Amino acid sequence: MSGSVEAGRDPEFDVVVVGSGAGGMVAAIRAHDQGLSALVVEKTDKFGGTSAMSGGGIWVPNTEQSKKAGFKDSPEEAFEYVKAAAQGRVPESRIRAYLENALKLERWLDENTHLHYLVVPKYPDYYAWLPGAKPGYRTMEPRRFDARKLGDELKNLRIPTNLISMAGASMSQIDAYVMVSKQPGWMLLVLWRVLGYWTDFPWRLKSKVDRRMTMGTAMAASLRASMLDRKIPLWLNTPFEDLIVEDGRVVGITAKQGGKTIRIRARRGVILAAGGFERNQEMREKYLPKPTDSHWPVTPPEANTGDAIAAGIKAGAAVDLMDMLWGVPVVGEPGGPSQRALFVERSLPGSVMVNKFGKRFVNEALAYPDLVNEIYKDKEKTGGGVPAWLIIDADFRRKYLFGPLMPGSIQPDSRLPKDWLGKVFFRANTLDELADQIGVDKAGLKDTIARMNQYAKEGVDPEFHRGRDPIDLYYGDSTNKPNPCLAPIAKPPFYALQVYPGDTGTKGGLLTDEHAQVLTEAGQPIPGLYAIGNTSASVMGPSYPGPGSTLGPAVTFGWVAANHIASVAAAESNSGVIARNAAE
């Protein structure tokens, strides 16, 4: 929308941030600390977005913590790795800006906010074969955050419904690793966490949510608490509608509030942090590989419909990577509005993924975004693939998590809701019967499982190399020999889950430069307009280098955008706003 905002009549801020995910909140906090006034507008009645439902991990190589632990890494290796992963789709200046600023941001968050990160030693990069890849120490996760610090604002926090939970107790990424891969002491850890949760008496009477927040919940809550400290306003239920452009410069936004359109002036800049377009079926059909469905994401159901991307395009912005997803295989969540991501089941021994011909087409333990790409490739190549099927036997069912089913040792079939059978999961006493139920070729399935059983004995998968790379083994069962990712699928009954190529958001968006400024097709910045997170085309190009590759850039470029706005403001007005970014 072009037009004007009336100074003195419409609300005015230096910086208007659209979207209250982690990147948006970091941008607002940093803008405030640079001497600028900031507002965050949020479409839904909850703050936090997908960021609050996530693992909260950020991918930041070469941190002080990794150095202190004696881990060998270097900025050049990190750069070489991302450059190789990005496959020439991202300018080097942007990759360098990410790596340099992510480090500074992590330190700044630690010193200035409630968000403190802990390095995750064993979470490996996803592409061990690329130059500069490392087996760990590049991912960080939020330290636990005490929900009491949020006060009444807790009621407005988006609470994840679809992460693994231990009887209500929250778990960290390190907990999840210890538990899923059965590291020594895992049972004690589970017991400790569950006890901690149920004996947290005063709080237990107040809320079902674990007071000791972890992962994305800790990230969103601690950032919001940092906004509260600074009295930075957050307007919930205020969906952004359009940009206001005057003389080629973005000077504000229009948004809906209480059914009315309001205009908000942004004296220095607008930062679009409104996620991707995964919940917009029309945009999915236009840009993404088919079939595609806006019900497949594991993100907040009503939130990210590409509003900011569409407004950016209208204002003349270029886009990139629009045909790509932050893919994750998903299964339908029973009774839920959303899907459940299959992060771990595919690596655990005794599972196999097949297409409708009963054939494997992928290393099931592959990093989740790449697995989704392989589902689509199989669909192209063979016509199989969508949906795919994850098949297990009774041994797997007893020991491990299987989509929404807790291990049978905790939640046997008799304790599952009756209507899940044949809907959420399928079960049969023979492979032939199971194949009939799910419409998969019988001979193909039997042949595949006979091969898998042979590979399990030998501990080597010569077809797809499951259980070879560090990322495969991360969620394998360390007690399973000879290969933590391979076990026979032999004991009836057999089970199946229907798997779709879902996502944790879309990867493409507005093209930005190393300052997070939105660019036109001609490569010129649109004055006053910035985009971060999934509203921008990813700095990682078509790849997902390691755990934390979406949130790391989202928060980093939020910080970068605020720094840039402050430095432009200082240069333009010389009015006492001091840009400190150069010094930090």
What is the rounded distance in angstroms from the CA atom of residue 428 to the CA atom of residue 492? 8
Q: How far is the CB of 329 from ligand FAD (least distance, A)?
A: 12
CA dihedral of residues 5, 11, 17, 21 (deg, nearest 10): -140
Nearest residue (CB) to ligand FAD, 63 versus 483: 63
Nearest residue (CB) to ligand FAD, 120 versus 318: 120
Q: How far is the CB of 479 from ligand FAD (least distance, A)?
A: 26
Nearest residue (CB) to ligand FAD, 163 versus 348: 163
Q: How far is the CB of 189 from ligand FAD (least distance, A)?
A: 20
What is the rounded distance in angstroms from the CA atom of residue 543 to the CA atom of residue 276? 16
Nearest residue (CB) to ligand FAD, 137 versus 326: 326
Ramachandran quadrant class, 465 (left: phi over 0; alpha: psi -120 to 50; beta: rest): left
Q: How far is the CB of 257 from ligand FAD (least distance, A)?
A: 11
Nearest residue (CB) to ligand FAD, 256 versus 468: 256
Token pair recorded at residue 266: 């942004």
Q: How far is the CB of 199 from ligand FAD (least distance, A)?
A: 28
**Exposure string (b/e) for 78-104, b if CB count within 10 Å is 16 or more?**
bbbbbbbbbeebbeeebbbbbbbbbbe
Residues that bind ligand FAD (CB under 6 A): 18-21, 23-24, 41-44, 49-51, 53-57, 163, 239-240, 273-275, 298-300, 303-304, 307, 326, 341, 504-505, 533-534, 547-552, 554
Q: How far is the CB of 49 from ligand FAD (least distance, A)?
A: 3
Which long-range contacts (C-beta less than 8 Å, at least 24 apart) are formed by 118-122? 118/65, 118/142, 118/143, 118/174, 119/63, 119/65, 119/66, 119/69, 120/57, 120/173, 120/174, 120/177, 120/547, 121/69, 121/71, 122/177, 122/474
Nearest residue (CB) to ligand FAD, 124 versus 239: 239
Nearest residue (CB) to ligand FAD, 217 versus 448: 217
Q: Is 339 exposed, middle or buried (0-12, 13-18, 19+ CB in 10 A)?
A: buried
CA 437 vs. chain centroid, Å, equals: 33
Nearest residue (CB) to ligand FAD, 26 versus 445: 26
Q: How far is the CB of 296 from ligand FAD (least distance, A)?
A: 12
Residue 353 φ then ψ, to 5°: -110, 130
What is the rounded distance in angstroms from the CA atom of residue 489 to the CA atom of residue 457? 11
What is the rounded distance in angstroms from the CA atom of residue 325 to the CA atom of residue 508? 7
Q: How far is the CB of 164 from ligand FAD (least distance, A)?
A: 10
